[in-house]
């Protein structure tokens, strides 16, 4: 059996869909649905069991989970603007640590989601070697909750027997439920479709003109392809960046969405909210050397191709999920 925590969420449901496509259905999904619309991501997926997040730690030692061979831990609070630090540390650190300890004690493959938010205000390097990872200074509570588990894993040597993935800006199908935390591709599609124009934040730093702030945008299919390979290759361990390896501007992303929609570019630059100014990253770019050297086949879909596929094959038909498209 393979356990996918956050299995109804964006990356988690995409992992389950890919496992299904590979013929794997002996899967347990762990999540907390509450009032979220992410339950729709479960429709069409093939899995054996659904376990509420609050019951998972207790059931880990139960007979029905005695033959788990891998835990893909994508469940966490992923809001970079969350202000409840205790909630973040309980969700993203303590909960992850308990699952990791069980996996290590029982020889279970453990793959967990870290984040590029751990890099904080860094605007060059983005190196995922252990020495650098121990010195990072995140600039928001979310990033710190992810960083602290990475630090513990490295200090205890756990990273030599499991995998942490520092996801950069992931976009693609199955993210519709994320609301404010959905990708700018998703938001741009709806803004442009409804209003004919797109709003982007102005730059408040002289070295970046409006819309030229840059991010490493990575398509969900590329992330999932890496995760499936990691499940099959337990000899590959460590904390890795997972991005495209190429920084692109918000203007580039906007242009790709307008092109995919067959519309002329029409961008309005607006002031950045005051509460974001101290925690806004102006540049991110994954150094992919470590993952590329791991022996895995790491694909990198171009921003233009990824946006075209997402917009034309999933959003325009009515927000199809990965498992809906044949």
User: Which residues are known catalytic residues?
Assistant: 142, 178
311 burial via Cβ count (<10 Å: 0-12, 13-18, 19+)? buried
Distance of alpha carbon 146 from alpha carbon 149, whole angstroms: 6
Beta-bridge mates of residue 240: 165
- Token pair listed for 55: 């019951």
Q: Please report how the helices 184-195 and 250-261 are oriented relative to each other, as an axis angle in degrees rounded to 10.
A: 50
Distance of alpha carbon 22 from alpha carbon 29, whole angstroms: 17
For 156, the 3-state DSSP assignment is: coil
Distance of alpha carbon 231 from alpha carbon 294, whole angstroms: 14
Q: How many residues does the chain have?
A: 326
State the pairing for strand pair 214-219/247-249.
antiparallel
């Amino acid at each position: 059996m393979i356990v996918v925590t956050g299995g109804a969420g964006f990356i988690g449901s995409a992992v389950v869909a890919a496992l299904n496509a590979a013929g794997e259905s002996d899967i347990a999904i762990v999540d907390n649905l509450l009032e979220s619309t992410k339950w729709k991501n479960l429709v069409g997926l093939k899995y054996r069991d659904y376990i509420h997040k609050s019951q998972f730690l207790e059931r880990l030692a139960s007979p029905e989970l005695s033959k788990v061979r891998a835990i893909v831990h994508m469940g966490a609070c992923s809001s970079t603007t969350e202000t409840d630090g205790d909630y973040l540390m309980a969700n993203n650190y303590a909960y992850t640590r308990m699952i990791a300890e069980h996996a290590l004690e029982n020889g279970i493959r453990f793959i967990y989601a870290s984040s590029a938010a751990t890099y904080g205000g860094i605007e060059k390097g983005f190196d995922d070697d252990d020495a650098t990872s121990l010195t990072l200074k995140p600039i928001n509570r979310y990033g710190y909750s992810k960083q602290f588990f990475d630090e513990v894993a490295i200090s205890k040597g756990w990273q030599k027997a499991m995998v942490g993935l520092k996801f950069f800006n992931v976009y693609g199908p199955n993210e519709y439920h994320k609301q404010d935390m959905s990708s700018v591709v998703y938001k741009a599609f709806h803004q442009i479709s409804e209003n004919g124009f797109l709003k982007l934040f102005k730059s408040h730093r002289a070295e970046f003109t409006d819309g030229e702030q840059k991010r490493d945008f990575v398509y969900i299919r590329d992330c999932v392809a890496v995760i499936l390979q990691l499940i099959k290759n337990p000899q590959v361990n460590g904390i890795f960046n997972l991005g495209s390896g190429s920084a692109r501007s918000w203007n580039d992303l906007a242009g790709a969405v307008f092109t995919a929609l067959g519309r002329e570019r029409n961008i309005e630059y607006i002031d950045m909210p005051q509460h974001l100014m101290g925690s806004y990253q102006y540049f991110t770019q994954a150094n992919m050397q470590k993952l590329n050297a791991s022996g895995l086949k790491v694909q990198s879909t171009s921003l233009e191709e990824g946006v075209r596929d997402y917009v034309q094959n999933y959003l325009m038909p009515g927000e199809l999920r990965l498992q809906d498209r044949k």
